[in-house]
Structure 1
């Protein structure tokens, strides 16, 4: 079984060592590289062999959000989990808007970090309940007002509603295809229809819509 190769980017050596220790017991995850600055993180990603990036927000030279922007420009499909000691309300929404697949507070336990890495490596999102609440209050969903007022089980077909709930729960297209016994291309088609019918733009906003309709 191939391991999920993680890049840990934090300017404090003791934090990097702590994360390495937290992940040591996960048999399917390995810390493939470390970086003490944004430029080092970019260099490591450009070298290749990275499946998930753990990126601290408070970085020297260039902050983590700036590096996130560049990573998403250069490697848009590479999952990035933002790390922070700041309260969720300060940076969580901004991080997700910029393309991060999740936002983790450094006070989280090892099980949460391992779950987050596994989920985003599979193509999903990792959004804690507290971050979901912040997103629901902070992100406007253009074109989704009508969808928000109307129960989604009436707006979407039965199969579309199934796919919607799984996408909103952070599941990847491949996982949904396996669970529903569908071809991945079929799931992608359902996803496109769901986005069109609800008026939202991406899986993060789908999750927000699910929160607002009390489906998550």
Structure 2
């Protein structure tokens, strides 16, 4: 029972740590939208406007701006789920990946986008989907592959919103495509080494075997290593 208790405690700590960033992002998205809606402001100028100096600020601020409640609601659940997966499966590189995808999605969009204001966090969503999928397959370990398959099942259909065919003109397919490109690049740069999970689990198991070796209880004080 002690083993199960320790595993449960460790899993809870990992989950709590992984929840911090997703929760913060969702809260910030909601607060910005509430401020804009209740205060009567218009934050569209904080989006990305391609190839215009005035639109460069959106590289950082675009993900916080949404056109209406429906737009915000459509993005909240995916960004929460995907960032949670990111911080649970790729904790050592999670901050780097999120920052990279965040910035490079905006940069690519600023270069290739139509001359219009582009807003919303969907570009980062596409970036995380591509990172978790391609990075998971390249990682070649159980955790990353499992995450890749789950992401493909949940969000595989979004690929059709990266091309300008059969979609609403008001949808920024360029933002989606920019996010996907940045996610694939991130999967190459921040590639997880194969079998990292298995090696770490093996080391933990070996440490547990040493710690709970029944023979330790039969040793005298003089026999214990210094």
TMscore range, shorter length: under 0.3
TM-score (structure 2 length as normaliser):
0.26
TM-score (structure 1 length as normaliser):
0.27
| Greater C-alpha radius of gyration | 2
Which structure exhibits the higher relative contact order, with contacts defined as CA atoms closer than 8 Å and separated by 6 or more residues?
2
Q: Which structure dedicates a bigger proportion of its chain to strand?
A: 1
